[in-house]
Amino acid sequence: MTGWQTLFYKEVLRFWRVGFQTVAAPVLTAMMYLLIFGHVMEGHVKVYDTISYTSFLIPGLVMMSVLQNAFANSSSSLIQSKIMGNLVFLLLTPLSHRSWFVAYVGSSLVRGLVVGVGVLLVAVWFAPLSFAQPLWIVAFAAMGAALMGALGLIAGLWAEKFDQLAAFQNFIIMPMTFLSGVFYSIQSLPPVWQTVSHFNPFFYMIDGFRFGFFGVSDVSPWLSLGIVGSALAVASLLAMHLLRTGYKIRT
């Protein structure tokens, strides 16, 4: 294998060998959300005319799992390597910054999609789902996972200890994910909060992904695709710049 393939293989094995923690646990967490919110809100909330609340909730939970696990994969790998001191072995290799980027973001994409598929396979037993536009599902899942993998790479490079990484995740990633329309349609919000939601790029990932299942969405899927694609490009360029300059990994 070439250098980037070897690093990619190593990163995939890293999370796969502890799959009970990195794959099974997120699936169980998503199912708990589904059982609680689906049971409590079903019959009380009507989002779209022909779609039950539980069916509406499932794509949001799938995408939320994809995003959170893609971010966790690249960020946790880098911070662990920095703290344990084994990052120096990668720095000794002739790998380019592009190889690092492809390997870390690629493995994050794999983990995010594996967890997302696991959540989907379990969730379909709770409510019927349609797959109106499957290409949109694949596109937003892949782009969302890649974007979060790039953001995780940036966070892992920036953080010097686990506390800093936890702060990044708890105060930025988690609030933006939960306020992205996973559990509700933004049309149910007051006008002011609808406007605020449109500044959250996570909303466009969730809304576009949900469009692939039902063929309806709060905003145009093409608008969502453009915004998510632009965010992915910006995050990727920033991550590769930090890798190229050796930000906080070279002395």
Reading the chain (251 residues) residue by residue, the pLDDT tens digits are 688 899 999 999 999 999 999 999 999 999 999 988 877 666 656 677 778 888 889 999 999 999 999 999 999 999 999 888 888 888 888 889 999 999 999 999 999 999 999 999 999 888 888 888 999 999 999 999 999 999 999 999 999 888 899 998 889 888 888 888 888 888 878 888 888 888 999 999 999 999 999 998 889 999 999 999 999 999 999 999 999 998 988 75
> Phi-psi category of 43—alpha, beta or left, where left has phi over 0 and alpha has psi -120 to 50?
left
Of 159, 140, 142, 110, residue with least CA distance to 208: 140
pLDDT of residue 153: 95
pLDDT of residue 44: 59
| Residue with token string 């084994």 | 86
pLDDT of residue 46: 65
pLDDT of residue 192: 87
Residue pair 25/111 in contact by the 8 Å Cβ criterion: no
What would the two tokens of residue 160 be? 């010097």
Contacts 24+ apart (CB under 8 A), 242-249: 242/153, 242/154, 242/157, 243/97, 243/100, 243/101, 243/153, 243/157, 244/97, 247/157, 247/158, 248/82, 248/157, 248/158, 248/160, 249/82, 249/87, 249/91, 249/157
| Rounded Cα–Cα distance for residues 231 and 215 (Å) | 23
C-alpha distances (whole Å) from 34 to each of 72, 100, 107, 232 are: 21, 36, 27, 29
> Phi-psi category of 171—alpha, beta or left, where left has phi over 0 and alpha has psi -120 to 50?
alpha
Threshold 0.75, pTM exceeds: yes
Helix (H, G, I), strand (E, B) or coil at 10: helix
pLDDT of residue 53: 83
C-alpha distances (whole Å) from 139 to each of 146, 209, 229 are: 11, 8, 10
| Rounded Cα–Cα distance for residues 169 and 11 (Å) | 20
Q: Which amino acid belongs to residue 241?
A: H
Backbone φ and ψ for 18, nearest 5 degrees, come out as -120, 45
